[in-house]
Amino acid sequence: MTEQRTASEPTSGHARRLVASEALKLSYTTTAWRALAVMGALLLVIASLVASSRASAAVHVGSGRGDAVDSVTSGLFLAQLPAGVLGVLTVAGEFSTGALRSSLLATPRRTHLLAAKTFVILVVVLVAAEAAAFAAFAVGGYELRNTVGEAGVGSIGVVRCVACSGLYLAAMALLGLAIGGICRSRTAGVIGLLIAVSVLPTFVNFLPPKADAQVTRYLPTELGMDMVRLGSDHGDFGPLPGALLLGCWIFLTMTAAAARLKSADV
């Protein structure tokens, strides 16, 4: 029993030091702070603009709650870009500068290094995104304060929608991290991210209608909308299945990134 405890202590201690090292590196990265600031600013600004526009347009009775949530989700399409770029740069940036070599000298197990980066990005982006999402909801609710309808967090489904907005942005950061690990280049990683979140959904629209509907619902961006949608439309997976399917996307791309990191020369 004592031997098992003694053997596990260096492993857990090394994991903590590795996570702390990655967190410290991220805190000194100016690009990371800028990406988080842009992500939060986009959510807040777009929420204010959307809510203000709908309030001035005399929205129909009882829609205040939905519009306050919509004001948050309206900014996700743009806010996901800086979140994903942050993930890309976390890995691809070290490949480009050669800093990854020194990291691997301290941590020869490459998958451990990738796991530490993943954990740090997940925590940092999730905290920042949740704070920005709830702040955007507060801004939207304030703009819609004179409309009829509840806009409080106590309303059914509101907390889930707003919280899932932050979760979706964190998921896109992880997707960007995986793409960066696969591409091993800042430029190629950002292009790959843009293809996944923007070009691919546009390309799918050119498919025949039935194929378009079936393929679109499995895309990461559409799965994210399933997570944050207040109501339910025909053909939606729903919040939980959408989150699980999005998790499958992240797992598959992260597995590919880990395989690429293990097999490729640094």
pLDDT attached to residue 250:
97
**Does the pLDDT of residue 226 top 60, yes or no?**
yes
pLDDT attached to residue 251:
97
Local confidence band at 219 (pLDDT 50, 70, 90 cut-offs):
very high
**Does the pLDDT of residue 237 top 90, yes or no?**
no
Local confidence band at 174 (pLDDT 50, 70, 90 cut-offs):
very high
pLDDT attached to residue 55:
74
pLDDT attached to residue 13:
72
**Does the pLDDT of residue 232 top 80, yes or no?**
no
pLDDT digits (tens, 9 = 90+) for 48-77: 998 888 777 645 544 555 567 888 889 999
Q: What percent of the chain has pLDDT over 70?
A: 80
Q: What is the 3-state secondary structure (H, E, C) of the chain?
A: CHHHHHHHHHHHHHHHHHHHHHHHHHHCCHHHHHHHHHHHHHHHHHHHHHHHHHHHCCCCCCCHHHHHHHHHHCCHHHHHHHHHHHHHHHHHHHHHHCHHHHHHHHCCCHHHHHHHHHHHHHHHHHHHHHHHHHHHHHHHHHHCCCCCCCCCCCCCCHHHHHHHHHHHHHHHHHHHHHHHHHHCCHHHHHHHHHHHHHHHHHHHCCCCHHHHHHHHCCCHHHHHHHHHCCCCCCCCCCHHHHHHHHHHHHHHHHHHHHHHHHHCCC
Q: Residue 155's CB: how many other CB atoms inside 10 A?
A: 17
- CA 89 – CA 95 distance, rounded (Å): 9
When pLDDT is averaged across residues 78-106 and rounded to a whole number, the result is 81
Local confidence band at 5 (pLDDT 50, 70, 90 cut-offs):
very low
Q: What percent of the chain has pLDDT over 90?
A: 45
More confident residue, 185 or 148: 185
**Does the pLDDT of residue 95 top 70, yes or no?**
yes
